[in-house]
Chain A
């Protein structure tokens, strides 16, 4: 046995993952089910050893199909998948040595918790005493000591998912693949299990691919996020990178709220115009993909937007636009003003302090932001 789930060997002195687990390389992979367009369309991505990579995207965007291709449940139409340097494109699922966790847990109902967790070890002909030791060890890791003789149906959803997690890591897989593992759980349990998954990832230190359509979950957990859209990867990067520096309107909209001003095909190297407003552009905020021409959009996050009663109060150098308060959402920690912006009345969002009760529906206001807080993306 090499890489146990024994914590001593899996984390460095500072508790940092030592980066074991395989590197996963997707080289121009395509999966075509013969529908209008391929489910996965020429995706190239390298997932580093020990990395927590999240596949994020709406349903039908290809993220789960990509995971199934990595797992070996689906065959590639074209392209290559490598684990470390080994080409596994045609290797059957049972020989890939990847731990998989499913949304519906997929625990074997006719086996106990211990039987479920021991299953991959028995398939690998691990000696019985060692099976018992490792099952006990991993049960402790997922904090389910004493449940080994229960059947899955006797456990709660959260406990079942921990068993599924234990079963997927007990055989030291080269990587862990999780397909919307928290999708069936309620909000509080999700939060608890997110922490749990992060802790387990830290302790085991394996490469982890996590599929979700929940952007908050992706932001909370990931080292990097690959945002899927129509079978392609729209953008890859750290959560901060995707949130603060979206390349496209799709990315900007999928992660977090924003106010979106369509700019059409006008050049974005200098000041831009929208309706009868003229706004300064900080060249650092123009996305790479917006520079190459084509339609663009200017997006501003609600937390960057300030609200004043008239133009004279707008700080110098800031961009601003007229708006009318359409609705006010009380969010506990803050309030969100929903605005009808400009002549067209597009929807805008601004975040104001929860205690600020100065605004009423229908108020005419001016929304402003600094040019370095806006982002110009490909639309």
Chain B
């Protein structure tokens, strides 16, 4: 005989969600709310902290610089990641695992160790500089510049580009390319008209992941970049740890969050699959 459960009582399976919900609410929801609450004057209902962002002459500049840096990183990882992901769909299971391990390597090294590693490589007269000098580029400075930061960030963010691309490219039926060729397209045209459009979901997902994550980078620009070219996360860190301007930091944080959410929404409309993003984010973690 089954004991019947009243209609209004939720299924007991939902009880399993309580720890996760409590944890998320406690360590994400509450602080998020607090910083937002402070940004509007802790009950004073003022927008002065927001208007200050647009008038202080620094925030907008840093925001634009961050966006630009993130965009460059996104383009670099896309150009590197697309052929890489394509290769992953073309090789056997063994080589595919090797390629996955190689691209995930940055995640298995501590963020600090990795950044100091880049530091050593990028120093003036360091390994990288001496290497590219062999090709005649002997005036390239990487330490303390945006280029150096871009390089280091691209390495870490490559998996966020490669994995959604791989899942999108792996789902494309290669016989479509044969069909296009039989219908009169040379191989490159077949790729451009058939294969590439079908990979758009993966491209958008990878770009949005990479871009939003790049926007929040802190350690890498702080260590490798120049203090005069700080990015938005450094500005946030400065406000909270040095200026103790929690209201201003809250407003800045909220602004960045809103910009990011708008971008994600837009990308979703562009055909990127949130399911792909979620799966990949879950697979790799978001440690930086």
Contact = CB atoms under 8 A, between A and B. Distances in A.
A91 to B, nearest CB: 12
A171 B173 CA distance: 24
Secondary structure dominating the interface of B = helix
Interface string A70-114: 011100000000000000000011101111101010111110000
Interface string B168-184: 00000101101111111
Interface in B142-201: 173, 175-176, 178-187, 189-190, 193-194, 197-198
Contacts of B178: 71, 73, 93, 100, 102, 106
A124 interface: yes
B184 A102 contact: no
A123 interface: yes
Nearest to A124: B184
Contacts of B175: 102, 104, 106
Given A106-B173, A108-B194, A171 B183 contact: yes
A108 B176 CA distance: 7
B198 A93 contact: no
A3 to B, nearest CB: 16
B65 to A, nearest CB: 37
A257 to B, nearest CB: 35
Contacts of A162: none
30 contacts: A92-B186, A94-B181, A94-B185, A94-B186, A94-B187, A94-B190, A96-B182, A97-B184, A99-B182, A99-B183, A100-B178, A100-B179, A100-B182, A100-B183, A102-B179, A104-B173, A106-B173, A106-B176, A106-B178, A106-B179, A108-B176, A108-B179, A110-B197, A110-B198, A119-B180, A119-B183, A120-B184, A123-B189, A168-B182, A171-B184
**Ordered nearest first, which 9 A-B pairs have the shortest CB separation?**
A100-B182, A123-B184, A120-B183, A106-B179, A93-B181, A106-B175, A94-B181, A110-B197, A94-B184
Interface of A: 71-73, 92-94, 96-100, 102, 104, 106-110, 119-120, 123-124, 167-168, 171, 177
Interface of B: 173, 175-176, 178-187, 189-190, 193-194, 197-198
